[in-house]
Structure 1
Amino acid sequence: MKIVCSQIDLKNSLSLVSRAVPSRPTHPILGNVLLVAEKGKNQVTLTGFDLTLGMRSSFTAEVEERGTITLPAKLLNDIIGHLPDGEVSFSFDEEELDDNPMVAINSLSGKFQLRGVRGDEYPELPTIDTDDKFLLPVTALKEGLKSALFSASSDETKQILTGLHLTRDGDSLEFAATDGHRLAVAKISEEIETDDSSNFALTIPSRALRELEKIISTSSVDDFVSLYVDEGQIVFELDNQSLTSRRLDGAYPNYNQLIPKTFERSIVVDRKMLINSLERVSVFADGKNNMVKFNLIASTNELNLSVEARELGNAKEVVNVEITGDDFQIGFNIKYLMDGLKAINSDNIKFSLNGATQPVIINPLSGVDMTYLIMPVQIKD
């Protein structure tokens, strides 16, 4: 192998694929990245894979001799990240019989030698044997993931709830995630282009989608992400980058039946004003007490917020709101509440409520069609 490439191209691709390299690999080679140089295409492809999530990135390079090698991801990142802008060359003798050849890395600032492992020992990424693909607008993905992904469970024992349920139905995408305490659903209507007219419903690990968020974060609003699906795997592709992940097995809960259809009272409030007030009173919320009390005063259209920490003190604030219904008191987990409010992109929001122990629905009054369901916390006398 002998290649010459741009330091910035190499650094960017390496940074991307390294996110799929485990910090504590179950096998030493999984701590490496795979580097493949193709002479005919004058292209270098990097791959990181932890046997669950795989990430791949390609860039143009001058390939004098093709080759394949794996190199320690962390050490390679440290080396390339500290090199100055300019050309970087990689070379090693493919005819060398050693299974762990020494790779020479040269730049304007110096020379390095790094011990590698031959590429044929690296596990292959799962492939999807289909040319059928769905083209998903980047704007729809950004909005849907921001609106729902935060509600997925971080508890690995909950399996299916650690993912986001993505549904295509006609000309819309629906994103849904729940951890059992809250539920976020976002419906994005777009002109979804595809090679066929079929719909889909699949549950994708939240970790994979957080990486997808990073990939599309700098993309143009006119870009589309290609989605390939089979029974066990999914692949997202955008330009020269791809992400491969397993699908989560099992039936996702029928979340629509959890959402109440009628309500006894409602609150309309300025979202940013409420967030600011909650952030101030939350200084008294800790691991022992993370509840904020809402006390609705219908006659004055006031929402009294309060957080109490018995050993420290308490905080109270009054927020002007529009109340429909009677006086009422209810408690929320302040973190869950703040997560939902920050995911909404609307100046004003509406709380729809029934009893003090029944689900509460929060909707934006403009922007993305989003529903956030949060279970109240019981207030102890």
Structure 2
Amino acid sequence: MKFFCSRDKLIKNLQIAQRAVDAKSQAAVLRNVLMDASGGKLNLVGYDHRMGIRTSIDCQIDTEGSITVPCALLIDILGVMQEEQVYFTLEDSSMKVECGRSKYNLSCISADDFPPFPKIEGKDTFEMEAGVLETGIRQTIFATNPDDHRAFMGGVLLNLEKNEIKFVSTDGHRLAMRKFDVPGGALPTQKVIIPTRTLNELLRILPDAGEEKVKVTVDVKSISFTLDGVFVTSRLVEAEYPKFEKVIPTRAEGQCRINRTRMIGSVRGASIMARSKENRDLIEINVTDDSIKFTSSTQDVGSASEELEVVKKGKDIRVAFNSKYILDFLGAVEEDEVVFDYTEELDPGLFHTDMPGYTYVLMPIKV
């Protein structure tokens, strides 16, 4: 095995494949990345039995072959090299890495010991705009809870219907849903739960995809995404998602409209006095005729009060929420104005904007 390639491109693609490498695995081969030089391409694969990533770059090959190398160590070595081209030569189980006057030798593990990369052969294959996938993940992923014993909370539900895509998440305290209409009705009917970890890694890759289409394939127990030369495959969360529609309020007895930027500042300010274990980041919201007040207090520490003007209709309300959950919503939207719909102090609050498609339901805290 002998080849050379661009150092910068190799570093970038190793960092992508590394996201599926289990750096803490007891099996040394799972801490490695598979390098396969063939057909004018250097294919890089990271796989930990739960998630796999395969990417490739152009390279000049003298002798084809494959081997696994310590991923993190190779990235560190490439990072200190100065020249653009880096040369690799495999001798027995040692990889010689040369760049200018820099020379390193890496102990490797046979490619035969690397776990077989899964093949996704599901009948349900469709395309999705990269921007739709990125927005759907970004506006829901923070409401998952991978540590909960209820498996369905450890991922985002991808609910596909003929002409509609829904991303749904919940951690038991809130529910986030992002809906997209798909003209033409070309989608399969599917409901799958994608693990939070997989979606976090996709978020890191998606900004580089631009306006590309993402090819999605769904199998019985797995899902794959192909975008911008990167192939990502993952096991699905094997659980049944609850009927989330029942949680979403269908009526409101009051509503207020608030400037998003000012609300972020006020919620952050009020939360300063709500950081104790007893307060659980709790802030109270008091909506009256033309204002909304955010307050908090901690015994032996102090209190805080922030007030904003609002456009209100309907009844007044006094209700308590977790301030971090409110800030998650405010950080997930971009519109200048947000809307808070409410009924009673112990009923779920509904946060949204005038841009259709995004719904955020937040359970109140009993004071």
Task: Calculate the TM-score normalised by the size of structure 1.
Answer: 0.92
Q: Which amino acid aligns with 2:236?
A: R
Counterpart mapping for 1:1-381 below 5 A: 1-38=1-38, 41-93=39-91, 96=92, 101-130=93-122, 133-191=125-183, 198-221=188-211, 223-288=212-277, 289=279, 290-298=281-289, 301-366=290-355, 368-379=356-367
Deviations 1:244-298 (A, max 9, x none): 1001112111101111211111111111111111112222221422111111122
- Report which stretch shifted further, 143-152 or 29-38: 143-152
Q: 1:109 to 1:167 in 2, by over 3 A?
A: farther
Query: CA–CA distance in 2 between the matches of 1:249 and 1:169?
Result: 20
**Runs of 4+, deviation exceeding 6 Å:** none
Residue 106 (structure 1) shift: 0.4
Q: Which amino acid aligns with 2:131?
A: T
Query: CA–CA distance in 1 between the matches of 2:49 and 2:276?
Result: 35
Deviations 1:291-329 (A, max 9, x none): 11111122xx11111111212111111110122223321
Deviations 1:126-182 (A, max 9, x none): 211257521111111122112111111132422111110012222321110001100
Aligned length: 365
**1:134, 1:193 within 8 Å by CA — same for their partners in 2?**
no
Query: CA–CA distance in 1 between the matches of 2:124 and 2:85?
Result: 38
Query: CA–CA distance in 2 between the matches of 1:119 and 1:4?
Result: 19
Query: CA–CA distance in 1 between the matches of 2:124 and 2:321?
Result: 45
Q: Give the SS at the match of 2:325.
A: helix
Query: CA–CA distance in 2 between the matches of 1:26 and 1:220?
Result: 37
**What root-mean-square deviation, in Å, do the aligned CA atoms of Structure 1 and Structure 2 show?**
1.6
**1:58, 1:240 within 8 Å by CA — same for their partners in 2?**
yes
Q: Which amino acid aligns with 1:220?
A: G
Residue 339 (structure 1) shift: 0.6
Aligned-residue sequence identity (percent) comes to: 28
**1:137, 1:192 within 8 Å by CA — same for their partners in 2?**
no
Query: CA–CA distance in 1 between the matches of 2:354 and 2:248?
Result: 18
Query: CA–CA distance in 2 between the matches of 1:335 and 1:124?
Result: 42
Query: CA–CA distance in 1 between the matches of 2:146 and 2:89?
Result: 42
Structure 1 gap segments, 5+ residues each: none
**2:51, 2:234 within 8 Å by CA — same for their partners in 1?**
yes
Query: CA–CA distance in 1 between the matches of 2:137 and 2:111?
Result: 35
Residue 192 (structure 1) shift: 7.2
Query: CA–CA distance in 1 between the matches of 2:148 and 2:65?
Result: 39
Query: CA–CA distance in 2 between the matches of 1:135 and 1:348?
Result: 32
**2:162, 2:185 within 8 Å by CA — same for their partners in 1?**
no
Task: Calculate the TM-score normalised by the size of structure 2.
Answer: 0.96
Q: 1:272 to 1:27 in 2, by over 3 A?
A: same
Q: Which amino acid aligns with 2:134?
A: K
